[in-house]
Amino acid sequence: MQEENWDEDGCFEPARIYRTAVGGSKGQGPGLAMTRSLGDFDAASIGVIGTPTVSHRELQAGDAFIVLASDGIWEFLTTERVVEIVEGYLKRGESANTAARYLIALASLEWKREEGGSYRDDITATVVFLKDLLPVL
């Protein structure tokens, strides 16, 4: 679990990566908030990879939905569980938005159950029902 970071005024600061200064003291340079690392190539010398891993696949007949989610979802919910949940919402005729909100709530509960305390990672989810966007394949 990541420790919470508090500044001198008692305000929360996000986790950051810093370049180590000569002599080993932390805090050299502007700290990079890890949630902002996508596309940040200035921190490559200290191990930040700013290029995302991207994959693609062609939609097939029978593909029903897409789930885009941050690691806060995937850390405690398996792909199989997410598919089972979203498929249930689709079959019941409920909205993709409702399915996404449920995934977020469930992941939040799992974070609290597993990690305790008030910290939780970024938990973001978008669900798209393809029938709402595409002609029948």
pLDDT at 71: 82
Task: Kindly give the pairing relationship between strand 28-33 and strand 65-69.
Answer: unpaired
- Residues in the chain, how many? 137
- Between 96 and 51, name the one with better pLDDT: 96
Query: Mean pLDDT over all residues of the chain?
Result: 78
User: What are 16's strand-pairing partners?
Assistant: 33
pLDDT digit string, tens, across residues 62-98: 899 999 998 889 888 999 999 999 999 999 999 999 9
Q: Where are the domains of the chain?
A: 5-46, 65-132
pLDDT at 2: 36
Helix, strand, coil content of the chain in percent (nearest 5): 35, 20, 50
The number of C-alpha atoms within 13 Å of 103 and in the hemisphere containing its C-beta is: 34
Backbone angles phi, psi at 59, to 5 degrees: -65, 140
Residue 53 near residue 37 (C-beta atoms within 8 A): no
pLDDT digit string, tens, across residues 3-23: 445 555 555 566 666 666 666
pLDDT-derived band of residue 105, with 50, 70 and 90 as boundaries? very high
| DSSP code at position 3 | P
Per-residue tokens: 5 = 């970071």
- Between 45 and 22, name the one with better pLDDT: 45
Residue in 120, 124, 117, 121 with CA at minimum distance from that of residue 103: 124
Q: What's the average model confidence in pLDDT over 111-129?
A: 84
**Statement: residue 120 has pLDDT above 60:** yes
